[in-house]
Structure 1
Amino acid sequence: MKGYERHDEVLNTQQLLLSIIDLATQRGAHPDKLLKGTKLFYNDLTRVNVNKKPVTCSANTLLTVIENCSKLVKGNEISFLLGRRYFPSHLGLLGQALMNCRHLADMLRLCQCFQLDCFPLMNLTIKTFNDKSYLIFQSAVGKLSSNQQIFITEFMLSALLGAMKYRCGELPELKIHLDYAKVQHIEQYHVHLNMNNHENIQFDQQICMLTIASKQLYLPFNDSANSLKVLALQQMRQVAKLNNKHYPISFTLQLIRYINQGLANNVAVSQECCAQHFGYSSATLKRKLASHSLNYQGIIDNIRSQQAIFQLIICHDSNEKIADALYFTDVSNFRKAFKRWTGMTPNSMREQQCFF
């Protein structure tokens, strides 16, 4: 199945775009300025389609509106307000299915299965170690600007935590690690994320993720109805079939999964091998990556560095164990690569990181 790219108009985000524009308009921004650079007009989003088909857009369009919003609107609360109203009202049949999941783990699995509909710009990966689970966020559509990264991360956190509180009755104990510098609007995090302990939000971390006790993910929802979940999913499949719609992941994520699998099995993952796997020439693959502001070696370095950082600061593995897991010939080469990836040695990162 072909993965969607940044320019492909496959995102069913008409309601999301209208919500962003309406929230920004209420704060003084003009709709035309918010849509500048998208080739869309506000009337395009509000017009009723006689065929009852939603207006679709590309990731580039959504990212452009987010960038415009971040520059035009002061206050930095729109991302949080957007996330708080996202579940379940913005998700239609998928929202109904999520409402009737057995527990949080079931909800997260469904979010991963329907990533295009749930969080089209970000990818959610779940890792476990000892008694904790780590929800790791990464861009699903290539490189993001600082404004886009912060806005989308705040939106995802607000939506996820809002869904957790809605279904659990109260917010489980969480810890948030953000891979960008501390923002000036930190009070918005405390207000909208309902994090009572301010120390549970840390900036300038090496990985963007949310930490939760694994047992919290499997506490049953007593009011869930599996029959309603199954019905909603069946209706989604029927609608998808009528509209000839599939649920692909992004081209970027397809590429990352291919490289991940190759690295995990110590199989050659050269750019030439990757291009051949996806049916492209090396030049075509290079052009596609450039359109996402990426390059092939950079993706490999990012995958290996993220794995190394996780093993180092979460699993507390030794340099030798990490080097072996990443198939380095010796520890010295691993140290050199780690410093090239992160700007510091493994031992320096151990001393500086304060993961709790």
Structure 2
Amino acid sequence: MTMYCGRWYERDERFIAAHHQPALLLDLLLARDISSHKILRGSGLFYEDILTGSHYLSPAQLQQLITNGRKLLPQEDLSFRWGDSLWPGHYGVFSQLLANAPDLERALQALVDYRRFLSPLLVPRIYQDERYCYVQWLDACGLQDERRFMVETAMTGLTAMSRWLAQETLPWRYGFSYAQPAQDEQYQVYLGPDLHFSVGVDVMMIEKHWLQKAWPRGSATAYQVALREAQLLIGEDVAMNGFNEAVYHYLTQQLRAPQSLPEVAQAFAMSPATFKRKLHKHHCHFQQLQDQARLHVCLYLFHINGWTNEQVAHYLNFNDTTNFRRAFKRWSGLTPSDSKQRFLFAAG
């Protein structure tokens, strides 16, 4: 039994500075002449709390603001407009890190290393193969119906930030786990034309030679100073993983020997009943996370490692490729061959 040795944050943990990203979202809604009472309804917040500059809210409270905003402006491009101004932002040393990043590689590293502060609801993971860098976006602690909203926000945020810092539009390509929306004009406006839906994962990709191209606005010295300040500020005991993210990471590492819920609960030092309650609190089910982990590992092995169906099936301990293909279709809605074709098209 491998124990999970990391730490995690939960939906009801208050650590998100109300005057940072939540205030930016609030201002976008106030600019539409919507009262602060309607925007903050059900969140446990008052406008005066945000003005103090010392109030913190939980991921659940921020998610409630998003839900309210989406209902108040159902036809508007709120997610994209929020994302367009999300980073570098005015979030102290973490924004200084992003604003002074000398290149895309170090900007991405800052987003990953300090995701608790810069992207607490939907978090980035970075992969590379011989040609591409991939930025995968993961649900940290139970977004449910707001996942698509946050995918739009995060992808727009990284697109806009990299464009501003590089002083040119970078050739990002975008893959979405969900089907193409009936109205996708805002995707074209904020992200561009290279959009690929129903690929099983929310991911941005860019050719690797862009990673180390120097950014005109960057400063390697200022970046190092900000990095040192950030490391001193948070120490080593601050959890960077959301609960769902922590369970997901653990499951991806155990896929060759799939574990039951009681076994994973034991790895997280909980009883099965407590672990189930924790999953319910974070709006997910054990099987859902396990299937997602399996799907994403399959996509990694197919599209980054270039493995065949037989190799992936063997790696995941399936008895035969037929059973593997059925399982993959259940996880993704696609056959392995369809998935490969979509990714080949997306990767050009």
Question: TM-score scaled by structure 1?
Answer: 0.87
Q: For 2:251 and 2:319, locate their aligned partners in 1 and report how far apart those are by CA, in whole Å.
A: 19
Pairing partner for 2:286 from 266, 291, 296: 296
Aligned mate of 1:236, from 223, 227, 230: 230
Partner of 2:219: 225
Q: What residue identity is the alignment partner of 1:258?
A: Y
Give me the whole-angstrom Cα distance separating, in 1, the residues matched to 2:115 and 2:298: 26
2:243 paired residue among 251, 260, 264: 251
In 2 relative to 1, CA 343–226 (structure 1 residues): closer, same or farther, beyond 3 Å? closer
Residues 305 and 239 (structure 1), Cα distance of their counterparts in 2 relative to 1, 3 Å cut: closer
Look up the match of 2:105: 105
SS in 1 for 2:204: strand
Determine helix, strand or coil for the equivalent of 1:89.
coil
Q: 1:160 aligns with which of 152, 158, 161?
A: 158
1:172 corresponds to 2:177: no
SS in 2 for 1:90: coil
**Range with bigger deviation, 162-171 or 216-225:** 216-225
Shift of residue 305 of structure 1? 1.4
Corresponding residue for residue 126 of structure 2:
126
> Match for residue 45 of structure 2?
40
Which deviates more, 176-185 or 308-317? Answer: 308-317
Partner of 1:24: 29
Contact 1:132 1:214 (8 Å CA) reproduced: yes
- Counterpart of 2:104, as a letter, is L
Displacement of 1:5: 0.8
The one-letter amino acid paired with 1:342 is S
Kindly indicate whether the alpha-carbon contact (under 8 Å) linking 2:99 and 2:217 is maintained by their aligned counterparts in 1: no
RMSD: 2.4
Q: Which runs of 5+ in 1 are unaligned?
A: none
Gap runs ≥5 in structure 2: 1-5
Does the 8 A contact of 1:75 with 1:185 survive in 2? no
Which residue does 2:3 correspond to in 1? none
Alpha-carbon shift at residue 217 of structure 1 (Å): 1.0
Q: Which amino acid aligns with 1:34?
A: I
Q: Per the alignment, do residues 127 and 237 of structure 1 end up closer, same or farther by CA in structure 2, a change over 3 Å counting? A: closer
Could you tell me whether the CA contact under 8 Å between 1:123 and 1:137 is conserved in 2?
yes
Return the alpha-carbon distance in structure 2 between the equivalents of residues 271 and 152 of structure 1: 28
Secondary structure class of the residue paired with 1:91: coil
- What one-letter code is carried by the residue in structure 2 that aligns with 1:138? L
Alpha-carbon offset, residue 119 of structure 1: 0.6
Residues 165-223 of structure 1: per-residue CA shift (max 9 Å, x gap)? 12211122121112223335422223233x2xx2x122333221111001111213365
Cα displacement (A) at 1:328: 1.9
Residues 35/254 of structure 1: CA separation in 2 closer, same or farther (3 Å cut): same
Task: Give 1:349 shift.
Answer: 4.4
Amino acid at match of 1:84: D
Q: CA deviation at 1:45?
A: 1.4
Higher relative CO (CA 8 A, sep ≥ 6), structure 1 or 2? Answer: 2
Q: Secondary structure at the match of 2:97?
A: helix
Aligned residue number for residue 326 of structure 2: 336
Relative to 1, partners in 2 of residues 1:296 and 1:227: Cα closer, same or farther, differing over 3 Å?
Answer: same
Segment of structure 1 superposing worse, 92-101 or 209-218? 92-101
Matched to 1:252, the amino acid is N
Alpha-carbon shift at residue 25 of structure 1 (Å): 2.0
Question: Which residue among 194, 198, 203 is the counterpart of 1:209?
Answer: 203
Alignment match, 2:314: 324
Q: Is 1:261 paired with 2:259?
A: no
Instruction: Tell me, in whole angstroms, the C-alpha distance in 2 between the residues paired with 1:75 and 1:246.
Output: 38
Matched letter for residue 126 of structure 2: I
- Specify whether residues 291 and 98 from structure 1 end up closer, same or farther in structure 2 by C-alpha distance, changes over 3 A only: same
Q: Is the contact made by 2:104 and 2:212 (CA closer than 8 Å) also made in structure 1?
A: yes
